[in-house]
Chain A
Amino acid sequence: MTIPAPSKTIVDLLLLLARIISGGALLLAGAVKLGLLGGVAQLPTAPLLFALSLQSFKLVPHSLVPVVSYFVPWCEVVAGGMLVLGVWSRQSAAIVTAMLLAFTLALASVLLRDMNVDCGCFGGLFGEAKVTWGSIARNFVLSAFGAVVLVRGGGAIALKPDAIRP
Protein backbone atom coordinates (compact mmCIF):
# COMPACT_ATOMS: atom_id res chain seq x y z
CA MET A 1 0.00 0.00 0.00
CA THR A 2 1.42 3.37 -0.97
CA ILE A 3 0.47 6.71 0.44
CA PRO A 4 -0.60 8.97 -2.40
CA ALA A 5 1.29 12.23 -2.74
CA PRO A 6 -0.81 15.25 -1.82
CA SER A 7 -2.41 16.84 -4.83
CA LYS A 8 -1.11 20.12 -6.15
CA THR A 9 -4.29 21.81 -4.98
CA ILE A 10 -3.74 20.74 -1.40
CA VAL A 11 -0.09 21.83 -1.48
CA ASP A 12 -1.11 25.19 -2.91
CA LEU A 13 -3.72 25.65 -0.19
CA LEU A 14 -1.16 24.79 2.50
CA LEU A 15 1.24 27.31 1.01
CA LEU A 16 -1.53 29.90 1.07
CA LEU A 17 -2.07 29.08 4.75
CA ALA A 18 1.67 29.44 5.43
CA ARG A 19 1.62 32.82 3.67
CA ILE A 20 -1.33 34.05 5.72
CA ILE A 21 0.13 32.86 9.04
CA SER A 22 3.69 34.17 8.69
CA GLY A 23 2.89 37.25 6.59
CA GLY A 24 -0.22 38.06 8.59
CA ALA A 25 1.64 37.85 11.89
CA LEU A 26 4.31 40.24 10.69
CA LEU A 27 1.76 42.57 9.12
CA LEU A 28 -0.13 42.72 12.41
CA ALA A 29 3.06 43.25 14.43
CA GLY A 30 4.17 46.10 12.17
CA ALA A 31 0.76 47.78 12.14
CA VAL A 32 0.56 47.72 15.94
CA LYS A 33 4.12 49.06 16.31
CA LEU A 34 3.19 51.95 14.03
CA GLY A 35 -0.05 52.61 15.90
CA LEU A 36 -2.13 51.94 12.80
CA LEU A 37 -4.65 49.80 14.68
CA GLY A 38 -4.92 51.68 17.92
CA GLY A 39 -6.65 54.90 16.90
CA VAL A 40 -5.34 58.37 16.26
CA ALA A 41 -4.36 59.02 19.88
CA GLN A 42 -1.77 56.32 19.72
CA LEU A 43 -0.19 57.43 16.46
CA PRO A 44 2.23 60.06 17.76
CA THR A 45 3.99 57.86 20.26
CA ALA A 46 3.68 54.35 18.84
CA PRO A 47 7.16 54.22 17.23
CA LEU A 48 8.65 55.60 20.43
CA LEU A 49 7.28 52.62 22.36
CA PHE A 50 9.05 50.29 19.96
CA ALA A 51 12.21 52.39 20.11
CA LEU A 52 12.28 52.08 23.89
CA SER A 53 11.87 48.31 23.70
CA LEU A 54 14.55 48.17 21.04
CA GLN A 55 16.91 50.22 23.15
CA SER A 56 16.45 48.02 26.19
CA PHE A 57 17.64 44.99 24.21
CA LYS A 58 21.02 46.75 23.82
CA LEU A 59 21.65 45.19 20.42
CA VAL A 60 21.25 48.22 18.17
CA PRO A 61 23.69 51.17 18.40
CA HIS A 62 22.11 54.10 20.20
CA SER A 63 22.33 56.36 17.14
CA LEU A 64 20.49 53.87 14.94
CA VAL A 65 17.52 53.29 17.25
CA PRO A 66 15.23 55.96 15.70
CA VAL A 67 15.97 54.80 12.15
CA VAL A 68 15.45 51.15 12.98
CA SER A 69 12.31 51.86 15.00
CA TYR A 70 10.62 53.30 11.91
CA PHE A 71 12.19 51.03 9.28
CA VAL A 72 11.54 47.66 10.93
CA PRO A 73 7.76 48.12 11.43
CA TRP A 74 7.32 49.41 7.88
CA CYS A 75 9.37 46.48 6.60
CA GLU A 76 7.03 44.18 8.53
CA VAL A 77 3.97 45.86 7.02
CA VAL A 78 5.31 45.86 3.44
CA ALA A 79 6.86 42.38 3.37
CA GLY A 80 4.09 40.84 5.49
CA GLY A 81 1.37 42.47 3.39
CA MET A 82 2.97 41.41 0.12
CA LEU A 83 3.31 37.87 1.40
CA VAL A 84 -0.34 37.65 2.41
CA LEU A 85 -1.40 39.01 -0.97
CA GLY A 86 0.98 36.71 -2.81
CA VAL A 87 2.92 39.46 -4.56
CA TRP A 88 6.52 38.33 -5.15
CA SER A 89 5.87 35.64 -2.58
CA ARG A 90 9.36 34.17 -2.47
CA GLN A 91 11.07 37.54 -2.04
CA SER A 92 8.52 38.67 0.55
CA ALA A 93 8.95 35.35 2.35
CA ALA A 94 12.74 35.80 2.33
CA ILE A 95 12.44 39.16 4.08
CA VAL A 96 9.74 37.91 6.48
CA THR A 97 11.78 34.84 7.39
CA ALA A 98 14.98 36.85 7.86
CA MET A 99 13.19 39.33 10.13
CA LEU A 100 11.55 36.61 12.21
CA LEU A 101 14.87 34.82 12.63
CA ALA A 102 16.52 38.10 13.62
CA PHE A 103 13.77 38.70 16.22
CA THR A 104 14.22 35.14 17.46
CA LEU A 105 17.96 35.65 17.94
CA ALA A 106 17.36 39.00 19.66
CA LEU A 107 14.87 37.45 22.11
CA ALA A 108 17.19 34.51 22.76
CA SER A 109 20.04 36.90 23.52
CA VAL A 110 17.85 38.67 26.07
CA LEU A 111 17.16 35.40 27.88
CA LEU A 112 20.77 34.24 27.66
CA ARG A 113 21.95 37.57 29.10
CA ASP A 114 19.33 37.20 31.85
CA MET A 115 18.00 40.70 31.17
CA ASN A 116 14.91 42.02 32.94
CA VAL A 117 13.35 43.83 29.96
CA ASP A 118 9.96 43.95 28.28
CA CYS A 119 9.34 41.85 25.18
CA GLY A 120 7.79 44.53 22.98
CA CYS A 121 6.49 41.64 20.85
CA PHE A 122 3.57 42.62 18.60
CA GLY A 123 3.78 46.11 20.07
CA GLY A 124 2.44 44.75 23.37
CA LEU A 125 -0.89 43.89 21.70
CA PHE A 126 -1.25 40.61 23.56
CA GLY A 127 0.06 41.92 26.86
CA GLU A 128 3.17 39.80 26.59
CA ALA A 129 5.22 41.61 29.18
CA LYS A 130 8.44 39.63 29.36
CA VAL A 131 10.52 37.59 26.94
CA THR A 132 10.01 33.85 27.43
CA TRP A 133 11.15 30.71 25.62
CA GLY A 134 7.55 30.56 24.39
CA SER A 135 8.06 33.86 22.52
CA ILE A 136 11.13 32.36 20.89
CA ALA A 137 9.33 29.13 19.94
CA ARG A 138 6.46 31.13 18.42
CA ASN A 139 8.83 33.21 16.31
CA PHE A 140 10.68 30.09 15.21
CA VAL A 141 7.46 28.41 14.06
CA LEU A 142 6.41 31.56 12.18
CA SER A 143 9.79 31.73 10.47
CA ALA A 144 9.43 28.06 9.48
CA PHE A 145 6.15 28.90 7.70
CA GLY A 146 7.95 31.72 5.90
CA ALA A 147 10.80 29.42 4.93
CA VAL A 148 8.35 26.95 3.37
CA VAL A 149 6.97 29.69 1.10
CA LEU A 150 10.52 30.80 0.31
CA VAL A 151 11.35 27.30 -0.93
CA ARG A 152 8.05 26.23 -2.52
CA GLY A 153 6.54 29.50 -3.74
CA GLY A 154 3.28 31.30 -3.03
CA GLY A 155 0.69 28.59 -3.72
CA ALA A 156 -2.99 29.37 -4.21
CA ILE A 157 -4.57 32.78 -4.70
CA ALA A 158 -1.33 34.64 -5.29
CA LEU A 159 -1.91 38.01 -6.90
CA LYS A 160 1.44 37.87 -8.64
CA PRO A 161 2.65 34.25 -8.91
CA ASP A 162 6.41 34.05 -8.84
CA ALA A 163 8.00 31.47 -11.13
CA ILE A 164 11.52 32.70 -10.52
CA ARG A 165 13.52 30.45 -8.25
CA PRO A 166 16.26 31.86 -6.04
Chain B
Amino acid sequence: MSVWLKRCGILLAISAALAAVDSVARPTAWTVTSVAGRNDAPPDQATGSPAVAANSPGPSVQPTTPAHTAQWFSDQLSAGAIAIDARPEEKFRESHIPGAIHLPFEAFTKGRPDAIDFLPDDGTTLIIYCDGGDCDASHKVQTMLAQFGLKDTIVFEDGFPGWQKAGLPIETGAAGAQ
Protein backbone atom coordinates (compact mmCIF):
# COMPACT_ATOMS: atom_id res chain seq x y z
CA MET B 1 0.00 0.00 0.00
CA SER B 2 2.81 2.39 0.84
CA VAL B 3 4.39 1.73 -2.58
CA TRP B 4 1.02 2.38 -4.14
CA LEU B 5 0.64 5.75 -2.43
CA LYS B 6 4.27 6.59 -3.13
CA ARG B 7 3.70 6.13 -6.86
CA CYS B 8 0.63 8.37 -6.76
CA GLY B 9 2.70 10.94 -4.85
CA ILE B 10 5.46 10.78 -7.46
CA LEU B 11 2.97 11.37 -10.30
CA LEU B 12 1.46 14.35 -8.48
CA ALA B 13 4.91 15.72 -7.62
CA ILE B 14 5.98 15.51 -11.28
CA SER B 15 2.81 17.39 -12.26
CA ALA B 16 3.42 20.04 -9.60
CA ALA B 17 7.04 20.49 -10.70
CA LEU B 18 6.08 20.88 -14.35
CA ALA B 19 3.31 23.34 -13.39
CA ALA B 20 5.76 25.40 -11.33
CA VAL B 21 8.35 25.54 -14.13
CA ASP B 22 5.65 26.33 -16.69
CA SER B 23 4.15 29.17 -14.66
CA VAL B 24 7.57 30.82 -14.45
CA ALA B 25 8.54 30.13 -18.06
CA ARG B 26 5.41 31.41 -19.79
CA PRO B 27 6.20 34.53 -21.83
CA THR B 28 3.19 36.36 -20.46
CA ALA B 29 3.01 36.16 -16.72
CA TRP B 30 -0.26 36.87 -15.00
CA THR B 31 -1.40 36.75 -11.46
CA VAL B 32 -4.63 36.02 -9.72
CA THR B 33 -5.46 39.68 -9.63
CA SER B 34 -5.26 39.95 -13.39
CA VAL B 35 -8.01 37.39 -13.57
CA ALA B 36 -10.12 39.71 -11.48
CA GLY B 37 -12.43 42.13 -13.12
CA ARG B 38 -15.79 41.25 -11.76
CA ASN B 39 -17.11 43.36 -8.98
CA ASP B 40 -17.09 40.28 -6.75
CA ALA B 41 -13.30 40.12 -6.83
CA PRO B 42 -11.68 40.62 -3.43
CA PRO B 43 -11.45 44.36 -2.83
CA ASP B 44 -8.17 46.08 -2.34
CA GLN B 45 -7.65 46.84 1.36
CA ALA B 46 -6.71 50.47 0.83
CA THR B 47 -8.99 51.56 -1.96
CA GLY B 48 -11.86 49.16 -1.70
CA SER B 49 -11.74 48.65 -5.44
CA PRO B 50 -11.18 45.27 -7.12
CA ALA B 51 -7.56 44.30 -6.69
CA VAL B 52 -5.26 44.54 -9.70
CA ALA B 53 -1.55 43.88 -9.39
CA ALA B 54 0.74 46.78 -10.24
CA ASN B 55 2.59 44.69 -12.81
CA SER B 56 -0.52 42.99 -14.00
CA PRO B 57 -1.30 42.85 -17.71
CA GLY B 58 -4.94 42.77 -16.71
CA PRO B 59 -7.61 45.25 -17.75
CA SER B 60 -7.82 48.77 -16.42
CA VAL B 61 -10.77 47.81 -14.28
CA GLN B 62 -13.60 50.19 -14.76
CA PRO B 63 -16.42 48.58 -12.84
CA THR B 64 -19.86 49.44 -14.06
CA THR B 65 -21.51 52.02 -11.89
CA PRO B 66 -25.20 52.91 -11.75
CA ALA B 67 -24.40 55.62 -14.32
CA HIS B 68 -23.64 52.91 -16.86
CA THR B 69 -27.19 52.59 -18.04
CA ALA B 70 -28.35 51.47 -21.45
CA GLN B 71 -28.82 55.12 -22.41
CA TRP B 72 -25.26 55.88 -21.30
CA PHE B 73 -24.11 52.95 -23.45
CA SER B 74 -26.03 54.33 -26.42
CA ASP B 75 -24.51 57.79 -25.90
CA GLN B 76 -21.02 56.28 -25.73
CA LEU B 77 -21.60 54.50 -29.03
CA SER B 78 -22.75 57.74 -30.61
CA ALA B 79 -19.53 59.34 -29.34
CA GLY B 80 -17.37 56.73 -31.05
CA ALA B 81 -17.16 53.85 -28.59
CA ILE B 82 -17.29 50.32 -29.97
CA ALA B 83 -19.66 47.63 -28.70
CA ILE B 84 -18.36 44.09 -28.35
CA ASP B 85 -20.84 41.24 -28.15
CA ALA B 86 -19.41 38.36 -26.09
CA ARG B 87 -22.44 36.08 -26.45
CA PRO B 88 -22.55 32.83 -28.46
CA GLU B 89 -22.90 33.16 -32.23
CA GLU B 90 -26.52 31.97 -32.41
CA LYS B 91 -27.61 34.69 -30.00
CA PHE B 92 -25.59 37.28 -31.88
CA ARG B 93 -27.19 36.29 -35.17
CA GLU B 94 -30.62 36.46 -33.57
CA SER B 95 -30.15 40.06 -32.46
CA HIS B 96 -27.46 42.37 -31.17
CA ILE B 97 -26.66 46.01 -30.56
CA PRO B 98 -26.26 47.81 -33.92
CA GLY B 99 -22.67 47.88 -35.09
CA ALA B 100 -21.44 45.50 -32.40
CA ILE B 101 -18.44 43.32 -33.14
CA HIS B 102 -18.94 39.68 -32.28
CA LEU B 103 -16.13 38.41 -30.07
CA PRO B 104 -17.12 35.48 -27.86
CA PHE B 105 -14.76 34.07 -25.23
CA GLU B 106 -14.42 30.85 -27.26
CA ALA B 107 -12.70 32.82 -30.04
CA PHE B 108 -9.62 33.11 -27.80
CA THR B 109 -9.21 29.34 -27.53
CA LYS B 110 -7.82 29.28 -31.07
CA GLY B 111 -5.22 31.96 -30.41
CA ARG B 112 -5.49 35.59 -31.42
CA PRO B 113 -9.02 36.22 -32.74
CA ASP B 114 -9.25 37.95 -36.11
CA ALA B 115 -11.81 40.35 -34.63
CA ILE B 116 -9.04 42.05 -32.67
CA ASP B 117 -7.79 43.49 -35.97
CA PHE B 118 -10.99 45.52 -36.15
CA LEU B 119 -10.51 47.02 -32.69
CA PRO B 120 -8.56 50.28 -32.42
CA ASP B 121 -5.88 50.61 -29.75
CA ASP B 122 -5.90 54.42 -29.84
CA GLY B 123 -7.85 54.90 -26.63
CA THR B 124 -11.26 54.26 -28.14
CA THR B 125 -13.51 52.86 -25.44
CA LEU B 126 -14.57 49.27 -25.98
CA ILE B 127 -17.79 48.34 -24.21
CA ILE B 128 -18.34 44.62 -23.77
CA TYR B 129 -21.68 43.02 -23.06
CA CYS B 130 -23.23 39.58 -22.81
CA ASP B 131 -26.48 38.40 -21.27
CA GLY B 132 -26.40 40.44 -18.06
CA GLY B 133 -27.16 38.84 -14.72
CA ASP B 134 -24.58 36.21 -13.83
CA CYS B 135 -23.24 36.02 -17.39
CA ASP B 136 -19.45 36.26 -17.07
CA ALA B 137 -18.43 36.05 -20.74
CA SER B 138 -17.97 39.83 -21.01
CA HIS B 139 -15.57 39.87 -18.04
CA LYS B 140 -13.58 37.00 -19.50
CA VAL B 141 -13.36 38.72 -22.88
CA GLN B 142 -12.26 41.90 -21.09
CA THR B 143 -9.41 40.02 -19.42
CA MET B 144 -8.37 38.38 -22.68
CA LEU B 145 -8.42 41.69 -24.59
CA ALA B 146 -6.07 43.12 -21.98
CA GLN B 147 -3.66 40.29 -22.76
CA PHE B 148 -3.54 41.63 -26.32
CA GLY B 149 -2.96 45.20 -25.18
CA LEU B 150 -6.54 46.47 -25.39
CA LYS B 151 -7.16 47.88 -21.94
CA ASP B 152 -9.65 50.70 -22.48
CA THR B 153 -12.57 48.44 -21.87
CA ILE B 154 -15.76 48.63 -19.85
CA VAL B 155 -18.21 45.84 -19.14
CA PHE B 156 -21.86 46.77 -19.51
CA GLU B 157 -23.26 44.72 -16.65
CA ASP B 158 -26.92 44.89 -17.68
CA GLY B 159 -26.01 43.21 -20.94
CA PHE B 160 -28.22 42.78 -23.97
CA PRO B 161 -31.39 42.29 -21.87
CA GLY B 162 -30.78 45.71 -20.30
CA TRP B 163 -30.39 47.26 -23.76
CA GLN B 164 -33.61 45.66 -24.97
CA LYS B 165 -35.47 46.65 -21.83
CA ALA B 166 -34.57 50.28 -22.49
CA GLY B 167 -36.26 50.01 -25.88
CA LEU B 168 -33.12 50.85 -27.81
CA PRO B 169 -32.72 49.66 -31.43
CA ILE B 170 -31.34 46.23 -32.22
CA GLU B 171 -29.88 44.62 -35.32
CA THR B 172 -30.17 41.07 -36.62
CA GLY B 173 -27.93 38.90 -38.76
CA ALA B 174 -24.24 38.08 -38.78
CA ALA B 175 -22.88 41.50 -39.77
CA GLY B 176 -19.81 42.30 -37.75
CA ALA B 177 -19.31 38.70 -36.66
CA GLN B 178 -15.69 37.74 -36.20
Contacts and interface: CB of A to CB of B under 8 A. Distances in A.
A127 B107 CA distance: 9
Chain B residues touching A, range: 35 or more
Contacts of A71: 15-16, 19
Contacts of A78: 11, 14-15, 18
A66 B15 contact: no
B1 A48 contact: no
Nearest to B41: A62
Contact of B135 (A67, A82, A92, A116): A116
24 contacts: A32-B109, A41-B112, A43-B27, A47-B26, A48-B28, A48-B143, A48-B144, A49-B109, A52-B105, A52-B140, A62-B36, A66-B23, A70-B20, A73-B19, A74-B16, A74-B22, A77-B18, A82-B11, A95-B11, A116-B136, A118-B105, A118-B106, A130-B88, A164-B3
A91 B30 contact: no
Interface in A18-74: 32, 34, 38-39, 41-45, 47-49, 51-53, 55-56, 62-63, 65-67, 70-71, 73-74
B20 to A, nearest CB: 8
Given A48-B35, A51-B35, A55-B35, A42 B4 contact: no
B19 A74 contact: yes
Main secondary structure, interface of B, reads helix
A148 interface: no
B109 A66 contact: no
A166 B8 CA distance: 11
B134 interface: yes
Interface of A: 32, 34, 38-39, 41-45, 47-49, 51-53, 55-56, 62-63, 65-67, 70-71, 73-75, 77-79, 82, 88, 90-92, 94-95, 115-118, 123-125, 127, 129-130, 164, 166
Contacts of A77: 15, 18
A40 B69 CA distance: 40
A129 B88 contact: yes
Contact of A66 (B1, B8, B31, B147): B31
A62 B8 contact: no
Contacts of A123: 109
| A-B CB proximity, top 10 nearest | A124-B109, A44-B28, A70-B19, A75-B15, A91-B7, A74-B19, A52-B140, A41-B111, A42-B111, A71-B19
A38 B140 contact: no
**A contact patch SS:** helix
Given A39-B111, A62-B42, A92 B22 contact: no
A65 B32 contact: yes
A159 B14 CA distance: 18
B111 A38 contact: yes
Given A41-B111, A49-B144, A91-B4, A66 B32 contact: yes
A70 B23 contact: yes
